[in-house]
Amino acid sequence: MKKLGQLLLSEGIVTEQQLEKALRSQEILGGRIGTCLLEIGALDEDRLLGALSAQLGVPSARKIDLDHIPHVILDLIPTELARRHRVIPFRMLGTELFVAALAVKDLAMLDALAFATGKDIRAHISTESRLEVSLSKYFGAPVSERFHQLEMALAEGGTAAVVPGPQGDQAPAEDTTAGLRVDTIPHVYDTASPVDPSAAGSAESAQEPIGLSDLESELRDDCDRDEIAQHLLDFLAPRFSTVAIFKATRNSVGGWLATSSDPAVDQDGLIEVAIKLDSPSVFQQLRSGNSFHEGPLLPLASHRELQKHWHNVFDGDVYAIAVRVREKLVAVAMCHVALGNGAGVDIDEIRRACEQAGRAFERFILRSKKQLAPAAGPAAAERQAERTGSA
């Protein structure tokens, strides 16, 4: 695994001079290299989080996730435990509790939180300054003035160029590049607010979006795989400006269906996209076990293949949701909204729609096995089901 600085350098996000300057600052002030890069204005917070998420294979906790956390969520973790492990609970989804953290690989920490809360803990990477300021805000933890200065600078302009004073009690520099376990992916969403169809800027979104019960009815028992993908696309299209469905095989993902209200998006080209799963990408993260991704895409080589046909895929928020048959990735739904228009997206609803599609794919596979078994025998049926489920 590349170190964070090397990853940012190889992707052209920072220059060698900026990285060297940040490393010199780290030698003096300590802290994480990402913090030092933010302080010299080398990149913005979203770019840093995108790089950390791609590097570590975990979701990120962004400013919007940590700004306004309900007390009912905060109260799930005792103050002493939150301060000791440097974690912020920010979202509940079923039995899953999403927490912002730095040491997301710390299994002892994850076990302690699971034991204390009775929840399945899903760790999300945060920036050092965002986490420390949030710990002070919600749990009364002491925080260095350095982090307050950085947060104020970021709030003013998105990037910062601050020169912090020496911190006598600053912790030694910590390497953020240690390999971390993939636990799952993403963020806080305004699930109480209805989706505003006009926000997506889609001509198609003028139509009334269908609900989950309608989708379930459409995904009837005799749907074939193309019909399942089309029904999922039809469900998502009114909610986003661009939607693409990708089919997953053992070693790659390929375009399947696409629709967009943006005439500059090459829908036919998206259907022809093929991306290998041996290179870093959001698809690789989903194949590794993440549930979904939300936020800007890092400009990795694999993602640039999408940009050839999806011109604004690096702008605004991208939602990539895994469609699975049991534990196996069979498809990915990727959706896009313009920057600032994602507040009304109900990610819980989108995930449930993809779960429904996964169950429909499973029914299709079982039907295929039954139809093939009498004529070709169980072994051939298993091989056909394998091909069908991953095509």
Region of poorest pLDDT, from 103-112, 185-194, 210-219: 185-194
Identify whether 178 is part of a domain.
Answer: no
Is 233 in the same domain as 152?
A: no
Residue 245 domain flag: yes
Note whether 245 and 152 are same-domain residues: no
Residue 163 pLDDT > 60? no
**Mean pLDDT on 131-147:** 90
Residue 135 shares a structural domain with residue 59: yes
**Same-domain pairing of 29 and 90:** yes
Q: Are residues 26 and 96 in the same domain?
A: yes
Bigger pLDDT: 148 vs 230: 230
- Tell me: the pLDDT tens digits for 247-270? 999 899 999 999 999 999 999 999
Domain final residue pick, 135, 157, 179: 157
Question: pLDDT tier at 29 (50, 70, 90 boundaries)?
Answer: confident
> Is there a domain that residue 169 lies in?
no
Mean pLDDT of the chain: 80
- What is the number of other CB atoms lying within 10 angstroms of the CB of residue 33? 23
**Of 98, 129, 157, which marks where a domain is finished?**
157
Is residue 32 one of the residues assigned to a domain? Answer: yes
Same domain, 238 and 306: yes
Q: Are residues 215 and 345 in the same domain?
A: yes
Q: Does one domain contain both 128 and 213?
A: no
Domain with 377 in it: what CATH number? 3.30.450.40
Cα separation, 231 vs 257, whole angstroms = 11
Q: Place 362 in a pLDDT band, splitting at 50, 70 and 90.
A: very high
Residue where a domain stops, chosen among 157, 180, 209? 157
pLDDT at 367 (0 to 100): 85
pLDDT at 48: 92
State the total domains in the chain: 2
Domain coverage including residue 242: 197-390
Q: What is the pLDDT of residue 379?
A: 57
Question: What is the per-residue pLDDT for 54?
Answer: 84
pLDDT value for 324: 93
Q: What is the pLDDT of residue 207?
A: 58
pLDDT given at position 160: 56
Looking at the structure, do residues 148 and 242 belong to the same domain, yes or no? no
238/385 same-domain check? yes
Tell me, yes or no, whether 359 lies in a domain: yes
Residues 145 and 251 in one domain: no
pLDDT tops 70 at residue 204: no
* Judgement on whether residues 126 and 52 belong to the same structural domain of the protein: yes
Task: Give the domain CATH number at 48.
Answer: 3.30.300.160
The pTM score is 0.53
pLDDT of res. 296: 76
